[in-house]
Amino acid sequence: MSTHREREGSQNRVEANIHLLGELVAEKNRDSKEKIKMIEDLKILSAPDDALIKLAMLRMDTQQLVDTLPAKQEIIADIIRRYAIETEIDENFLRQMLIIADRHLKTPEEERDEEFLRQEQEVVTNVINSLNDRRARERLTRENEQKHEVEISGGRVFNFFVSQDGESVRMDLPIITDPNKTRVAIGPEAVVEILGAKLTFEDYDRIAETLLSFKGGVGRVIRAYAFAVETWADLSSQGFDASETRDSRRLRSYAIRKTFNGEDPKIGPFVDIPLNSIFTYVTKRYPLIALKNPPQPFSE
């Protein structure tokens, strides 16, 4: 028999998911509106008729999603409560549940027979099981990660977690304003709003020294980028054509972005931090190339 405290804890976790659902839906709404604006800004004057029709359909479908999001949010919130979903939901969960919510909107309540409810239960159960599996894998992965702390200016601490197999790394940064939830103007001051203060050359030195010490595939990727930067700097500082080594440097920077999961648009801008760290750490030995001011992430 569950205690009152257990029931209260369960209810709190469910309600926390309702709150998180609101944040995820707000993010989806913002992204969809930006997508509509991008479509409208294309201003295609000469394109095949079928391409223009597809573009118009894409805009219409996106607008329909924006228009129906509030109703779909209510439907999903009801499902979260009915099924007492306690595991922290995520964007994948929302994407799958939007399909179920769409089915609800298209099926009048009087037509939701036993078969409708049976299919809903089957799909929701599969979505929940998939969510539980993802969270279980995340917990297992994080339990076996190796943590690296870097204390930088302002008493801030950047944490880097290298996976047990040494093939991936994630960052945990002290974020003041999350740019994925609150719009932040891109520019040199964006880092102040997001991380509380600009990063100094000394900050980058500490971060770079930590990153270069990583073992496994992560360490090899980071050191390969550092070597590419050094090779480019060697040639460039002596006046040689370094176009090929510049290309190599760029290619290896892409490998770092992939290693830090920078392909995720929510994480991508933050990957400027390890890249800036390695670049400034290596090039400071080359007076003709060394930057006068530390580059800031989240800038254009």
Report if residue 255 sits inside a domain: yes
Q: Are residues 264 and 162 in the same domain?
A: yes
User: Does residue 300 fall inside a structural domain?
Assistant: no
Instruction: Give the pLDDT score at 47.
Output: 61
Taking the C-alpha atoms of residue 14 and residue 19, their distance in angstroms, rounded to an integer, is 9
Q: Is the pLDDT of residue 229 over 50?
A: yes
Alpha carbon distance 112, 119 (integer Å) = 10
- HSE of 200 in the Cβ direction (CA atoms, 13 Å)? 10
pLDDT at 190: 92
Say if residue 191's pLDDT is above 70: yes
Confidence (pLDDT) at 174: 93
Provide, rounded to the nearest whole percent, the portion of the chain with pLDDT above 90: 58
Residues forming beta bridges with residue 157, ordered by sequence position: 151
Task: Answer yes or no: do 29 and 105 share one domain.
Answer: no
> Is the pLDDT score of 6 beyond 80?
no
Residues 172, 186: one domain? yes
**What does the pLDDT read at residue 34?**
85
pLDDT tier, 201 (very low <50, low <70, confident <90, very high otherwise)? very high
Assess whether 169 and 98 both reside in one domain: no
Question: Is there a contact between 99 and 140 (Cβ–Cβ < 8 Å)?
Answer: no
Asked whether residue 196 falls in the same domain as residue 251, the answer is yes
Q: Sheet with 146-151: list strands edge to edge.
A: 146-151, 157-162, 169-172
Q: What is the mean pLDDT of residues 103-110?
A: 90
Is-above-0.85 flag for pTM? no
Section 87-115 average pLDDT: 91
State mean pLDDT over 157-169: 92
Q: What is the pLDDT of residue 161?
A: 94
Domain that holds residue 198: 156-285
What integer is the mean pLDDT of 9-21?
88
Higher pLDDT residue, 159 or 143?
Answer: 159
**Residue 1 predicted with pLDDT over 60:** no
The residues that bridge with 158 in the sheet, in sequence order, are 150
The average pLDDT across 206-214 equals 95
Indicate if 229 and 263 belong to the same structural domain: yes
> For the residues 236-244, what does the mean pLDDT come to?
76
Q: Averaged over 45-72, what is the pLDDT? A: 84
Indicate whether 175 and 250 sit together in one domain: yes
pLDDT over 70 (residue 45): no
Local confidence band at 9 (pLDDT 50, 70, 90 cut-offs): low
Q: What is the CA radius of gyration of the chain?
A: 24
pLDDT score at 42: 75
**pLDDT of 288 strictly over 90:** no
Quick one: pLDDT band at residue 147, thresholds 50, 70, 90? very high
How far apart (Å, rounded) are the C-alpha atoms in residues 96 and 195?
A: 33
DSSP string across 64-120: HHHHHHHHHHHHHHHHHHHTT--SPP-HHHHHHHHHHHHHHHHS-GGG--HHHHHHH
Q: Is residue 52 part of a domain?
A: yes
Can you read off the two tokens belonging to residue 107? 């099926």
Same domain, 255 and 197: yes
